[in-house]
Amino acid sequence: MSRRRAGRVAVVAVALAGGALLVAAALADTLTYYRTPAEVLGDPAGARERIRLGGDVVPGSLRRSGDLVVFRLAEGGREITVEQRGAPPETFREGEGAVVEGILSTDGVFRADHVVVRHGNEYGPVTASPEPAGAR
């Protein structure tokens, strides 16, 4: 390999490494990890940064006070109280799965600013109801 060619290869390698570092740095700021209540309660310090918390909304735990919505999310026998300001999605209900995005505060309450309702990925056709007599 000539010296000139080796120099070009080195320049290309440095440029690729620099680009990879820039992409990695940009992605690091946009990553939000998903955790369950058991994982968060097992390592509360890890939830001091923005995370997504998923679980089922505990029946009987949903309360609304003005624009504040308070409920508990449970997964694997562990529960975390969640506070969110603003209206949750219309399909948000007790007993249904939800994913919230926010930060665990020092008082143990998860402050969410975004709520997404989880749903199954099994869809089926709607069964037609029998046509009433004399409908034709």
More confident residue, 123 or 3: 3
Q: How far, in Å, CA of 100 to CA of 116, rounded? A: 6
Which residues are annotated as part of the binding site for heme?
A: 119, 123
pLDDT in tens, 51-102: 999 999 999 999 999 999 999 999 989 999 999 998 888 888 899 899 999 9
Residues 100-117 have pLDDT tens digits of 999 999 898 999 998 988
CB 50 within 8 A of CB 32: yes
Reading the block at residue 27, the tokens are: 């992605």
For residue 88, count other CB atoms closer than 10 A to its CB.
20
Annotated binding site: 119, 123
What's the predicted TM-score (pTM) here? 0.69
Class level of CATH domain 32-117: mainly beta
- And the tokens for 74? 């449970």
Helix, strand, or coil here: 12?
helix
Per-residue pLDDT of 25-40, as tens digits, reads 888 778 888 999 999 9
Beta strands in 5-96 (DSSP E): 33-35, 51-57, 63-65, 68-75, 78-85
Beta-carbon count within 10 A of 96 CB: 13
Q: Is the pLDDT of residue 3 over 70?
A: yes
Nearest-angstrom CA–CA distance, 95 and 27? 34
- Rounded to a whole number of angstroms, the distance between the first and last alpha carbons of the chain is 86
